[in-house]
Every structure is written in structure tokens, then in C-alpha cells.
Amino acid sequence: MNEEELKKYFATYTECWKLFRKYSNPNNSCEFWDGLRDEAASLYQKDKTEFRKNMIVETFNEIERVWKSRKE
């Protein structure tokens, strides 16, 4: 793998971490979930790879899991 390819992976991990950090305190408002959805879609538009899509979906799923665990 060359340096450019490694940088794409690094960017994906970094951007998903920033998304998770920003939305790590989920609530039940439409603004929260709409913002998360819109930012996740925007991240995917930057580089439409299967890896990036999966990372974004898993980040979204983890935020949702955190939210559901707090509701119980």
C-alpha cells in the first residue's frame, strides 16, 4: 500500500472519530439525528468507498447504541 492510500484510510478513521466525538452525547431531538445523518452523508460523499461507508455506518450504529443504553 502506498502513502496516498494509507492517508485515505487515516482520513476515514479520523473523520469517523470526529463524528463520534461530536455526537457522543445523543438525545431524542430531531436536530441531533438530522445533523448526524447529514454529516454522515457528507463524509460518505467525500470518498464513496465500501470501507468508508462501513465505518460511517458503524459509527452511526454505536452512537445509536449509546443513546438506547441511556434510555433504559
Return per-residue pLDDT of the chain as tens, 72 residues. 999 999 999 999 999 999 999 999 999 999 999 999 999 999 999 999 999 999 999 999 999 999 999 876
CA gap 55, 17 in Å, rounded: 10
CA gap 72, 67 in Å, rounded: 9
Number of domains in the chain: 1
Give the cell for residue 58: 458503524
> Which pTM was predicted?
0.90
**Residues spanned by the domain of 23:** 3-71
